[in-house]
Amino acid sequence: MKRNFLLLFLITVQYAAVANASIDTGVQKILFLGNSITYAGNYITDVEVYLLTHHPDKKFEIINMGLPSETVSGLSEEGHADGKFPRPDLHERLDRVLALTHPDIVYACYGMNDGIYLPFEETRFQKFKEGINWLHDKVIRSGAKIIHVTPPLYDELKGKKIGYANTLDKYADWIIGQNKRAGWSVVDLHYPMKKFLEAHRKVDAEFKLTGFAFAEDGIHPNETGHWIMAKSILLYMGEKDVADKMDIRSAVAAHSNGEKIFQLAAQRQLFMKDAWLTAAGHTRPGMKKGIPLAEAIMKAKEIGIQIELLNR
C-alpha cells in the first residue's frame, strides 16, 4: 500500500511543472528518430494509442525511424558489436528519411549511444553537440518542426558502466538548456525517469526501469520506463490527464475499445517501422527486412479502418 501510494504521488508531482504545447490539429505526420530505444518503440505506440483514443477526430500518422546502435555524433567505440560493424551515423541517412517521410514534426531522442558508455569527456561531448545542432538545422530547413527529447537514464547498478549516468546528465542538461539559449522545443524525460528510479530504490533496492526485451544492460527501458517516456511527451503535447496514470492501459481504460485499439496500433507499428527503415536504407547490419513500403501502407490503412470503427 505504501509503495503504491508513493508510486502515484511521484508520478503526479514530477510532471506538474512540465512545459506543454497543445496538439496542432494540422499535423499529419509525426516522425520519431533515435536509437534502439526508439526502434523498440513501446513509448511511441503508447503515444499513438493515447492520441487515437482521445482524439479520434484528428489524423496522426506516427512514423518510427529509430535505428539500433545509431549516434548523431558519428562516434563509435573500438570493438563495437564485437568488432562486426561500427555504429551507424544519422548523418548517413537523414536526408533520405526526411525526403521519404515528409514529416510535419520530428521528435529526436539521441545521447544514449553518443557518449560511447564512457565517463564524461569534452571532445565526445562536443561531437554530440555538433551532431544535434546539425540535426536541428537540417530538420528546420526541411520545413518541419523539431522537438528534442533528452536521453533516457542509464542505470549504473544494472549496466556497470561507472560514470555514464553522469555523462548522460550533462548531455540532458545541455539539451534542456537549449530551450532558453536558442528557443528550442524540448521534452525532458531523463530527469523524470531518474527521479522515479531514485525514489523507488529507497523502497526497493532492486527496483529497475530497464531490462525490457533485452538482457539487463541498464540501457533499454522496460514497460514502465517506456511509459514514463511516453507520458513526458504526452504532457508536452498538453495531455494533462495522463499525469496520474500508471501505464498506457490505465490511460485508455475509459475507452470501451481501448485494449483492442492498443493491440491494433502495436501490430501496425511493428511492421511499419521495418518497412520505413528498409525503404529509406541504412548501414546497420542484422536488421529485419521490412515488407515493401507500398504494401505496408495498404496494410496499415486496413488496420486504420478497423481502429476508426472501434472509435465510433
163, part of any domain: yes
pLDDT at 13 over 50: no
80, part of any domain: yes
Q: What is the pLDDT of residue 12?
A: 42
Torsion over CA: 255, 271, 153, 96 (sign)? negative
Could you count the other beta carbons within 10 Å of the beta carbon of residue 146? 21
Ordered strands of the 61-64 beta sheet: 61-64, 29-34, 105-109, 145-149, 185-187
Query: What number is the average pLDDT over the span 67-86?
Result: 96
Domain count, the chain: 1
The predicted-structure confidence for 123-160, as pLDDT tens digits, reads as follows 999 999 999 999 999 999 999 999 999 999 999 999 98
Q: Give me the numbers of helices (H) and strands (E) for the chain, helices first please.
A: 12, 5
Strand partners, 31: 63, 106
pLDDT at 20 over 60: no
Q: Cell digits for 193?
A: 525517469
The predicted-structure confidence for 193-204, as pLDDT tens digits, reads as follows 999 999 999 999
Q: How confident is the model at residue 214 (pLDDT cuts 50, 70, 90)?
A: low
Query: What number is the average pLDDT over the span 94-112?
Result: 98
Return d(Cα 186, Cα 107) in angstroms, integer.
9
7, part of any domain: no
Q: What is the pLDDT of residue 15?
A: 38
Q: What is the pLDDT of residue 226?
A: 97
Whole-prediction pTM: 0.92
CA-nearest of 308, 239, 187 to 23 is 239
Q: What CATH number does the domain containing 177 carry?
A: 3.40.50.1110
Could you count the other beta carbons within 10 Å of the beta carbon of residue 121? 12
5, part of any domain: no
CA 288 to chain centroid:
20
CA-nearest of 246, 242, 271, 299 to 53 is 242
Torsion over CA: 34, 40, 43, 47 (sign)? positive
Helix pair 258-280, 94-101: axis angle to 10 deg: 130
186 touches 148 (CB < 8 A): yes
1, part of any domain: no
Domain range for 270 is 15-311
Residue 61 φ/ψ region, left for φ over 0, alpha for ψ in the -120 to 50 degree band, beta for the rest: beta
Query: What number is the average pLDDT over the span 67-73?
Result: 98
| % of the chain surpassing 90 pLDDT | 87
The predicted-structure confidence for 254-299, as pLDDT tens digits, reads as follows 999 999 999 999 999 999 999 999 999 999 999 999 999 999 999 9
- How far apart are the two ends of the chain, measured CA to CA in Å? 38
Q: DSSP code of 109?
A: E
Q: Is 189 exposed, middle or buried (0-12, 13-18, 19+ CB in 10 A)?
A: buried
Return d(Cα 168, Cα 176) in angstroms, integer.
12
Q: What is the pLDDT of residue 213?
A: 63
Query: What number is the average pLDDT over the span 226-250?
Result: 97
Strand partners, 108: 33, 148
Please tell me the total number of residues recorded for the chain in this structure.
312
Q: DSSP code of 166?
A: H
pLDDT at 100 over 90: yes
Torsion over CA: 94, 97, 102, 106 (sign)? negative
pLDDT at 79 over 60: yes
Q: How confident is the model at residue 216 (pLDDT cuts 50, 70, 90)?
A: confident
212, part of any domain: yes
Query: What number is the average pLDDT over the span 241-255?
Result: 96
Torsion over CA: 211, 215, 218, 219 (sign)? negative
If you average pLDDT over every residue of the chain, what do you get?
Answer: 92
pLDDT at 106 over 70: yes
